Every structure is written in structure tokens, then in C-alpha cells.
Amino acid sequence: MCGIIGIVGTSSVQDRLIESLKRLEYRGYDSAGIAGFGPDGIERRRAAGKLRNLEEVLAGDPLTASVGIGHTRWATHGPPTVGNAHPHQAGRVTLVHNGIIENFAELKAELKAEGRVFSTDTDTEVVAQLLDRELASKAPLEAFKATLDQVRGAFALVVMIEGETNLLLGAREGPPLIVGYGDGEMFLGSDALAVGPFTNRVAYLEDGDYVAIDHNGARVFEKSGRPVDRPVQVVPQSPALMEKGNYRHFMEKEIHDQPEGCQRTIAAYVDALGGLTAVPGGVDFAALNRIQIVGCGTAYLAGLIGKYLIEPLADLPVDVEVASEFRYRQPALRPDCLVVAISQSGETADTLAALRYCQARGMKSAAVVNAVGSTMAREVDVVWPIHCGPEIGVASTKAFTAQVSVLTAIAVAAARARGRIDEAEERRLVAVLMEAPRLIAESINLEEAVKSIALEVSRARDVLFLGRGPMYPLALEGALKLKEISYIHAEGYAAGELKHGPIALVDEHTPIVILAPFDSYFEKSASNMSEVMARGGQVVFITDPEGERHAPAGARVVVTAPRCDPLIAPLVMAAPIQLLAYYVAVQKGADVDQPRNLAKSVTVE
């Protein structure tokens, strides 16, 4: 979603605004702009499309300013044109916004009736117009608060006011906004990555907060207007984390980061020396009657894999639901149920709302997150971090396997706590889990085999992914990955559902990816494979050496992942489907790291 940066600097900010916006590119965007206090007042430069277009504009018409704001826009209201690109202006006000102003239509009508003229299709412009109106009779901070009191919705805002050349105002209601503390310089940003090159000292605004920054520091206020302190934290980050290294895309790098990301994550959930689980947070799994997992997209699918692992091993019921449905359908909840939010960003609006819904009903909460400074991490009782490093590619890969690693450790820990396995079995399963990073690395080595299928799959109009047991959610993930970065229509199905409808789609033009390691489901999956082949379907069979030996003859392509214990099969089988999506997208020349229409951090519902 939209990225925001604001700098109250002591030297030119143009290049720093652009540097920061480049760090925010991963969130997804379709236009960009910056503004600053120039010698003759506020100046702004904007461009549709990628940041390089804005850089071209700046090359011909640079911005001279040491205080300024920048924005990457992910269009919600109005197409991604220069005119709709932020910053937006009205009278003395220039501002950038991430989120949605829900009551913009009624505010716009009111402002128009007063004779105010609008020049964009955006919801954002009403905030600029409102603030300009309030400034006619109030000082900047007072006018800002009066404006915030009138708008409804989800927003992070950063504002410049003509004549107030040492001041930026910011506000947060929903999407995150952080305050960065530099040496004689101050920053506002969508996340700590945005200000990473300039400072690692940040404070996280809470919902409802607004802030004024100038060269002397920051003044933060609660919604009521009461001054409040938000603690300054030192966030660990290195600029090197943002580099692609020798890889062409962040997604490719992040697929290859997985053995290390999972290894670091698993190390935080087991006691390697003692050989037992060591899940942080002190949750008493024996006392739980149910776990409710909520998440969106890939994070939801990681949760679904968690259900397949936790229920049989720990005999603990696990419900998993997409957060956008859960939050509105008035689910029946009990306080002896633990809600577990899964979210890479820790900011996804629907997941956050689902989490808060459960908390309001007395449930204890946990979050499996990558961003440990995120809103979810700060609001839950127990944080279960993943340790895979920042994920930049819009398509989630290494966060997914790290999330599954955490859930696998939890499954084993819960099984032991609930007396379903003894210590010897716990030791065996922990040893299996600790083997996963090495086997994931072997699985990634299948790159060449997967690449050789990519051309054929890239020509398909539709692709089906089938799996049983934990391979079913992985089939869903394979389909999601392929469609989001290659724009090929793909569907995942439980293989047993094939005959109940999807088999009608099978013909010689539709590749069918069947995920089937040699496990207790194998024979049934092999039968499904025969049914597909009998109808001319082109099967891509992803299995292991034993499965390859027992496979019905005739699969077009067999990708043979390493043999492993069923506990870690979802981790080991993930890389082939990620690589398939990646190479198909590369084959099609698609924008792998920033697929069209997608945003990395979905902070509006």
C-alpha cells in the first residue's frame, strides 16, 4: 500500500526522499511524488508509474528543499495518473496519505457547497481542503486536530503548511506511522525501513495519535489532544538487508534465503542442545480447548497447514479462517480459545481487526509476525516472531516457510504438553524439524528441473494445483503464488474434490500440478493423477524419490524433492511451487517483485 516519508532535515532532502521511497517500493505502488519548502514556497514534483519516472522529472526540474515529504501511491480512488498522485494540495496545505477516508463523499459535497474546487478524484484531497479551511481560523496544530476529528476511516497522514517551514504534522488511525529521531533531523515514515538509511531510533505512533516534528524533536498527542510519550526504540537493521545481491529479484533471493530463515526461526523455538521444544511466551497448551487462527492470503494458508499439523499431533482443535470473513460473521467464540494472528507485516487491516475482535471477547492472543515493531506484535499477549529478515518481494515466500516452521514447533510442543507424545517422540520430532533447513536447501536445488517446465506452463491459460492432507493448503499456495506474479489463472483443490467438479477443466492444454510426497495419502493422489492423465491432462508431479518409484507411468514432468518425515513435508515441498511461479513469471517478463495491482502491506480492508 502507499508509502510515506517526511524529513525535517538540515541539508537537501530530494535524494533522501527518493532513497526512502525506493525502500518503500516493495509495498506496491503505481505513481509517486515529493514536495518540499523551496525558496518561493512549497514545490512539488509527481509522476505516474515507477519511481524512475519521478527521477526523470527531478533531473529536469530538481527540488531545492531541506524539509519535504514523499509518497508512493497505490490507487484506491481514481486511476494512477499524475493528477491523482500525492502530494495533494489545497490552499496552504500539501499532504500525503495512506489509507481510505471513508466519509470523503459527504465531506467533499459539504466543501464543494462552500465553493471549494477539487482537482483530483481522490479521497485524500478532502483532508487537504478541510485542513486549509480550518487554518483560516486556527493555529496549525489546532487546525490539524479539528480536521482529524472530522475524518473517518483508515489513514496515515503527513502534512506541510505554507509558511511553517520547520514543521511537519503527522497522524495515524489504522495504517502505521513512525517517528524517526536523527541528529538534528527528524523523520516520519510508513515503517522503520523507510527511515533506515537515516536513523535506527524510532517511536511507533498508536492509533489516534497525531504528531508535530521540527528540528527540535517531536511532540506526540493522543486523539483527545493530551500530550503523550511514545517510547523511542532502537531497531536493528542493516542497509545490506535491502540488497538483492547477485539475484535478479528479491523474490528469487528470498526463496534462497529460506534455509537460513527457517534455521534461525526454528532455533528460536527449540532448545537445540536439550533436543526439546522451547516455544517462547509461556502458553499453556494443555489448558487450551481450541486455537483460532486468522490471517490473509499466504499467511492464512500457512495457518491452514498449521491446522493439519497441530490437530492430529496435539489433539487440539484448530479453526483457521480468512480474517476478512471472520471479523464480520459474528463467530461463536469462547475465552478458553487462543487466537493466533499470522501476518508477515503485522499490519494487515483485516487480520488486526479479527484479532481485536477476539481480544474484546476475552480471548488470549498471540501473533506470528515478521515485523516485531508492528501493531499486532504490540497488541498481543504473546509474540511468536519469525526470524527470516525483512521480506521485500510482494509475493511472500520466506515468511511463509518461517511461519510454517513456527507452527510446526508449536504442534510438537502442544502434543507434548497435552500428553499425546512422550519425551522420546518429542526429541525425535525436534530432530526432524532441525533437519528441515538442510532439506529445504536441497529442494531449492531443484531450480533447474523447475525452470525447464516454466516455458510450457507460461503458455497455459489455466493451471490446477492438487494436493491431499497438508499438501492441500500447499496446493492453494502454489496457485496463489502463480496467479499473483504470472497473471495466469490458477486454482488449488483438495485432490479428492477433483471428481466433484474441477475435472471438467482437464484437457491437454491445462497443466495439473500434483503435490504428492510418498506419505499415507500417496496412493489416493496417484489415482487422481491417473484420472487426470486418462483425460489427456498434462501432469507436473512434485513428489520425492519413493513417490517417483511408485508413480503411475506417464507424468509429463516429475520434480523429485528430498524424502522427509511428513512433519516437515510442507516446508520441504514449498520451494518447488515457489520456483515454478517465479520462473513462469520471469518467462512472461512480468514484474516479479511488484506484481500489478498488488500491495505488500494491506492496511485497508
SS3 372: coil
Contact with ligand F6R (CB under 6 A): which of 6, 196, 297, 437?
Answer: 297
In this structure, are residues 82 and 47 in contact, taking their beta carbons and an 8 Å threshold?
yes
Question: With respect to ligand F6R, which residue has the nearer C-beta, 169 or 299?
Answer: 299
Q: What is the largest CA-CA distance in the chain?
A: 80
Hey, is 140 helix, strand or coil? helix
Q: Which of 125, 252, 321, 484 binds ligand F6R (CB under 6 A)?
A: 484
The nearer residue to ligand F6R, 393 or 502, going by C-beta atoms, is 393
d(CA 406, CA 389): 15
Site string for ligand F6R, 388-407 (x = CB under 6 A): -------xx-----------
Minimum distance between the CB of residue 561 and ligand F6R, rounded to whole angstroms? 21
Helical spans, DSSP H, in 361-445 = 375-379, 398-417, 423-444
Give the β-pairing of 153-161 and 88-90.
unpaired
* Phi–psi pair at 572, nearest 5 degrees: -75, -30
What does DSSP say about strands 337-343 and 290-295: parallel, antiparallel, or unpaired?
parallel
Considering only residues 463 through 482, tell me which ones interact with ligand F6R, judged by CB under 6 A. Answer: 480
Indicate the pairing of strand 511-515 with strand 538-543: parallel
Binding part of the chain for ligand F6R, among 53-61, 220-228, 338-346, 444-452 by CB under 6 A, reads 338-346
- 134-147: buried (b, 16+ CB within 10 Å) or exposed (e) per residue? bbeeeebbebbbbb
Give the sheet arrangement for strand 186-189, strand by strand: 41-48, 31-38, 67-73, 3-8, 186-189, 178-181, 201-204, 233-234
Residue 600 falls in the annotated catalytic set: yes
Q: Any contact of residue 351 with ligand F6R (CB under 6 A)?
A: yes
The smaller minimum CB distance to ligand F6R, of residues 16 and 481, is found at 481
In the bound state, the residue with its beta carbon closest to ligand F6R is 297
For residue 87, say if its preceding peptide bond is cis, omega within 30 degrees of 0. Answer: yes
Active-site option among 2, 262, 296, 564: 2
Point out which span in 179-187, 267-275, 340-348, 500-508 binds ligand F6R (CB under 6 A).
340-348
Tell me how far, at minimum, the Cβ of 465 lies from ligand F6R, in Å: 14
C-beta of 43 vs 484, nearer to ligand F6R: 484
Residue 161 beta carbon to ligand F6R: minimum distance, rounded to whole angstroms:
33
Tell me which residues in 77-136 interact with ligand F6R (CB under 6 A): none
Distances, alpha carbon 55 to alpha carbons 19, 62, 97, 221, 409, in Å: 11, 9, 21, 35, 47
Give the whole-angstrom CA distance, residue 74 versus residue 83: 14
- Out of 348, 365, 375, 443, the residue judged to bind ligand F6R by CB under 6 A: 348
Smallest gap from Cβ 50 to ligand F6R, in A, equals: 20
Q: Does 579 bind ligand F6R (CB under 6 A)?
A: no
Q: Closest distance between ligand F6R and the C-beta of residue 299, in Å?
A: 4
Taking the least distance from each CB to ligand F6R, the nearer of 17 and 574 is: 574
Stretch that binds ligand F6R, among 29-37, 345-353, 411-419, 573-581 (CB under 6 A): 345-353
Judged by beta carbon, residue 35 or residue 323, the one nearer ligand F6R is 323
Smaller CB separation from ligand F6R, 122 or 343: 343
Smallest gap from residue 600 Cβ to ligand F6R (A):
7
Q: How far is the CB of 350 from ligand F6R (least distance, A)?
A: 8
> What are the residues whose beta carbons fall under 8 Å from the beta carbon of 80, sequence distance 6 or more?
30, 31, 48, 49, 73
Query: Within 10 Å of residue 524's Cβ, how many Cβ atoms?
Result: 14
Between residues 82 and 353, which has the closer beta carbon with respect to ligand F6R?
A: 353
- Does 299 participate in binding ligand F6R (rule CB under 6 A)? yes
Q: Give dist(CA 562, CA 406) in Å, integer.
A: 21
Which grid coordinates belong to 466? 492438487
Cβ count within 10 A of residue 227: 8
239 to 278: interface string for ligand F6R, x by CB under 6 A: ----------------------------------------
Instruction: List, by residue number, the catalytic residues.
Output: 2, 600
- For ligand F6R, the binding residues (CB under 6 A) are 296-299, 343-345, 348, 351, 395-396, 480, 484, 601-602
